[in-house]
């Protein structure tokens, strides 16, 4: 790849906190390798405080920031499918608006694509924090080689979504993000793999991901479980996973849903995600 220009793609919605979004933007703008474009999709109306932060950066960097908006909240998958279409560059780096990128994140990923031009998608580990990135609670580690990723993806996500950098053309040729309850990213990874994507993860935590009690509580509702089951069925229907690959994660998710919130948090911190 001779042209290694890249876009950063984010979706912003009304429930995000303005100070988290500001910290996210600061982490992007202080990278050792700067993006050529930041595409921010407004997934429905946003709060006045978020609008103030957005206006500040848009006025400060009008040539860098591209904003896409529509009147109603339609969910992350729809927002990202629109955003992929709006990105101008061949490489796209995903970022969540409440997370913080390590200052050399993009430098590391661009180096991977330069050294391995056959790559279609490259992510990394994440360090999960509460209150601030100095308070690391856990790490979500994923496999790093193409073969390991494709095996692991059958039961759990082999990519931390907020860390990935991918070729725009590879995402579009696999059908882009499509509706799939709770699993728009999972559904995309599977279809990209089935389409011949070459995968890698960098064995370093290049993103600090914000977690907290709210996340654990969301995972503990039967509404969440029903959506998880529906999304998992769509993944099974691709033919990529077996019946056992479908039922084992489903059983694990059911257990996570029924235990008390405190125990659920312990499971995430000490079993599913570890330091």
Residues 90 and 153 occupy one common structural domain: yes
Task: Check residue 221 and give its pLDDT.
Answer: 74
Residues 129 and 177 occupy one common structural domain: yes
| Residue 91 placed within a domain | yes
- Which one has a higher pLDDT value, 188 or 211? 188
| Residue 133 placed within a domain | yes
- Number of domains the chain contains: 2
Residues 224 and 129 occupy one common structural domain: no
| Residue 1 placed within a domain | no
The C-alpha atoms of residue 231 and residue 242 are separated, in whole angstroms, by 15
Residues 206 and 219 occupy one common structural domain: no
The C-alpha atoms of residue 238 and residue 231 are separated, in whole angstroms, by 11
Residues 90 and 164 occupy one common structural domain: yes
Residues 73 and 163 occupy one common structural domain: yes
> What backbone phi and psi angles, to 5 degrees, belong to 269?
-75, -35
Q: Which of 158, 184, 211 lies at the terminal end of a domain, its last residue?
A: 211
The C-alpha atoms of residue 129 and residue 193 are separated, in whole angstroms, by 30
Q: Name the pTM for this structure.
A: 0.92
Task: Check residue 216 and give its pLDDT.
Answer: 54
Per-residue pLDDT tens over the stretch 3-16: 689 999 999 999 99
Contact by Cβ (8 Å): 226, 197: no
Note down the domain range covering 239. Answer: 215-272
Residues 160 and 74 occupy one common structural domain: yes
Q: How far is CA 144 from the centre of its chain?
A: 16
Task: Check residue 206 and give its pLDDT.
Answer: 98
If we measure between CA atoms, which residue out of 51, 104, 99, 67 comes closest to residue 210?
Answer: 99
Residues 222 and 207 occupy one common structural domain: no
pLDDT more than 90, % of the chain:
81
Residues 119 and 150 occupy one common structural domain: yes
CATH of the domain at 26: 3.90.550.10
């Amino acid at each position: 790849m001779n042209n290694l220009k890249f876009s950063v793609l984010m979706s912003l919605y009304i429930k995000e906190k303005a100070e988290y979004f500001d910290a996210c933007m600061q982490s992007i703008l202080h990278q050792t390798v700067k993006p050529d474009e930041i595409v921010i999709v407004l997934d429905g109306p946003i709060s006045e405080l978020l609008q103030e932060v957005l206006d500040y950066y848009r006025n400060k960097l009008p040539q860098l920031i591209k904003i896409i908006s529509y009147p109603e909240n339609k969910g992350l998958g729809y927002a990202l499918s629109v955003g992929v279409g709006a990105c101008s560059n061949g490489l796209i780096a995903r970022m969540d608006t409440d997370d913080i990128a390590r200052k050399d994140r993009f430098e590391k990923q661009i180096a991977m694509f330069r050294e391995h031009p056959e790559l279609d998608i490259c992510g990394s580990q994440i360090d999960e924090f509460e209150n601030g990135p100095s308070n690391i609670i856990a790490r979500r580690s994923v496999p790093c080689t193409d073969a390991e990723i494709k095996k692991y993806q059958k039961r759990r996500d082999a990519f931390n979504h907020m860390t990935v950098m991918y070729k725009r053309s590879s995402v579009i040729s696999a059908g882009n993000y499509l509706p799939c309850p709770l699993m728009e990213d999972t559904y995309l990874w599977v279809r990209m793999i089935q389409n011949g994507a070459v995968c890698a993860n960098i064995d370093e935590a290049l993103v600090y991901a914000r977690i907290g009690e709210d996340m654990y509580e969301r995972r503990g509702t039967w509404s969440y479980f029903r959506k998880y089951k529906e999304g998992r069925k769509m993944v099974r229907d691709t033919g990529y996973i077996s019946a056992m690959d479908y039922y084992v994660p489903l059983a694990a998710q059911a257990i996570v849903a029924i235990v008390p919130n405190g125990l659920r948090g312990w499971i995430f911190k000490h079993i599913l995600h570890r330091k």
